[in-house]
Amino acid sequence: MKRWLASLARNTHASSAAEFALVLPLLLIFLLGIIDVGRLMWTWNRAEKATQMGVRYAIAADMVPNGLYSYSFVNGSTITQGDPIPESAFGGASCLINAGAVSCSCKTGATCPANLVGTSNSDQASALTAFNNIVNRMRLFMPEIGSANVTIDYDYSGLGYAGDPNGSDVSPLVKVSLKQLTFRPLLLMLFKGSIALPSFSAALTMEDGQGTVAN
């Protein structure tokens, strides 16, 4: 019995298999980690491209806050026909989807027209269509984007003249942002875990704000 145990202790035929079993989990983690880094960079790139294409579409298509597009800043006292629009008259607005409807509001500490979106049903439908057109363009590059992930800002740019007969009095800096995106690594799929991604945004100056052809 002792001789058999000694012989068994000196036997090395299974050492390679044992070493492989110890190293295999580390190799799998390393391999999946490399794949996850590539998937993360691909997701990151698609999100950036989606915001870039979204804002390129937004500056040439219909302005989401249609009330801002049709608003005249001529007030007969401090702002007259042809005057540049001051920041005190329009400081910036932000639009998002809230309960299936478009909600546009002045940014904190900023001023803007009271009715950024018209009050009629057709105005509301027009704003929703304009917003969804931008989102749909972004989905061409990242299909998992939802309307709730998108915010569209119209910021003061210093461009625009009161009483412009050819379109909007203001030419805001349009910024399209993506938020609340997540990435699920292969290593965390068994545990249904995910990683929150940062916000992505891109900005360009409004061109015409009424792109019936682009739509």
Asked if 176 and 142 count as a contact pair (C-beta separation under 8 A), the reply is: no
Count CA atoms within 13 Å of residue 149 on its CB side: 25
Per-residue pLDDT, 27: 79
The token duo for 95 is 């639009």
- Give the pairing of strands 200-205 and 173-178: antiparallel
State the burial class of residue 116 (Cβ atoms within 10 Å of its Cβ: 0-12, 13-18, 19+).
Answer: buried
Mean pLDDT of 77-85: 89
- 48-68 as b/e: b if 16+ CB within 10 A: bbbbbbbbbbbbbbbbbbbbb
Per-residue model confidence as pLDDT tens digits over 89-108:
999 999 999 888 899 999 98
How many angstroms separate the CA atoms of 152 and 55, rounded?
9
Distance CA 173, CA 100 (A): 25
Q: 130-189: per-residue pLDDT in tens? A: 999 999 999 999 999 999 999 999 999 999 899 888 889 999 999 999 999 999 888 777
DSSP state of 164: -
The pairing of strands 150-155 and 92-98 is antiparallel
Residues 42-57: tens digit of each pLDDT: 999 999 999 999 999 9
